[in-house]
Amino acid sequence: MRIGIVCYPTFGGSGVVATELGKALALKGHKVHFITYSQPARLDFFNENLFYHEVYIPSYPLFQYPPYELALASKMVDIVRFEKLDVLHVHYAIPHASAAYMAKQILRTKGINIPIITTLHGTDITLVGKDASFEPVVTFSINQSDGVTAVSESLRQETYEYFQIEKDIEVIPNFINLEKFKRQKKEHFRMAISPNNEKLLVHTSNFRTVKRVQDVIRIFAKVREHIPSKLLLVGDGPERPKMEKLCRQLEICQDVRFLGKMEAVEEVLSIADLFLMPSEKESFGLAALEAMACEVPVISTNAGGIPELNIDGVTGFVSPIGAVDEMVKNALFVLDDANLPVFKENALKRAREFDVDKIVPRYEALYIKTIDAQPVLL
């Protein structure tokens, strides 16, 4: 198949899923064309079946807000026509689904019927999409898509709850490449971070308010009162300055390292004992799946789709949003040397259920079903 993938090129979860999907499809022999405004962060890999098309927005003094959606739709029209794509798969509804709708209408006038698949990732529904500034366009463009997927059952339900959706939404969860995300021997690194064999807690995110990084720090501060431990924070974002301040107030800076944005997250996860995800919203929790694949149990909230991944009492624990004391208690239980090996093994076992080789065929099947269902234009 010739597949167009439209996504955000950043480190965010939806961009990572889209890029890893494209890479996996290319390895299976499909021709995959990425259409984004810059090279996707994880498109770090050469394959004869992978192509990248940059969306360029000409500047003009009148444009206080550059019309990205128009430039994107025009690029989609161009690539679909000249690369003879069979399907366009857009990740994150805003603005990709509406740009795809526009491209589809333009292509129709040229006798081409391109099926559009929209994958909903989370905040495009639960946060931004619900806002009155976007809701009518999001509802319309989901309903106009030929196939719609959500990354968890919880996101599927929320989409039906908040939008007037007439389409079937198929749940296709996030997936993981277990070749890349596996626990590696990094003893020198571990020794450097925790020279006295302190327990290592890790959090990775984009440091937005929905991630509740303040809870990560508060949980850590209390865990540290009971067991010698260190905290590694991977990622960056708007909340970081406040979080640095909080560490100073709690006088724990000597045990906390802000590592910033990193490509090789698996190297940090390889030395971790526990992953913290106290999010207020999380449609799936790809970062937790990456941790679990590296044999790291997870202490999380029960927000959104997290409980579909992190099994309470088995791969870690789930708690209500903001229940810091409960999360501390659970963290101490998991970190107990008598319990940790079992939780680690369970985390890996669970991660294997989301192996890329199990999930990608579900997207391929959806592409085929959607292409076959397209009426021929007369």
Binding site for ligand GMT (CB under 6 A): 12-15, 17, 92, 121-123, 151, 174, 206, 208, 210, 281-286, 304
Q: Is the dihedral of CA 351, 340, 181, 200 positive or negative?
A: positive
CB of 189 to ligand GMT, least distance (A): 26
Number of continuous H segments (helices) and E segments (strands) in the chain: 14, 13
CB of 130 to ligand GMT, least distance (A): 12
Q: Which is nearer to ligand GMT, 104 or 121 (CB)?
A: 121
Q: Which is nearer to ligand GMT, 19 or 229 (CB)?
A: 19
Q: Which is nearer to ligand GMT, 23 or 121 (CB)?
A: 121
Q: Which is nearer to ligand GMT, 252 or 291 (CB)?
A: 291
Rounded Cα distance, 343 and 333, in Å: 10
Q: Can you state the angle between helices 340-352 and 324-335, rounded to 10 degrees? A: 100
CB of 167 to ligand GMT, least distance (A): 19
Q: In this structure, which amino acid lies at residue 154?
A: S
Q: Which is nearer to ligand GMT, 217 or 303 (CB)?
A: 303
Q: Which is nearer to ligand GMT, 10 or 49 (CB)?
A: 10
CB of 356 to ligand GMT, least distance (A): 14
Rounded Cα distance, 188 and 66, in Å: 48
CB of 159 to ligand GMT, least distance (A): 12
Rounded Cα distance, 315 and 156, in Å: 24
CB count within 10 Å of CB 337 equals 8
Q: In this structure, which amino acid lies at residue 307?
A: P
Strand partners, 91: 119
CB of 139 to ligand GMT, least distance (A): 19
Q: Which is nearer to ligand GMT, 252 or 366 (CB)?
A: 366
Residue 323 CB-half CA count within 13 A: 15
CB of 127 to ligand GMT, least distance (A): 7
DSSP string, 81-142: HHHT-SEEEEESHHHHHHHHHHHHHHHHTTT----EEEEE-SHHHHTTTTSTTTHHHHHHHH
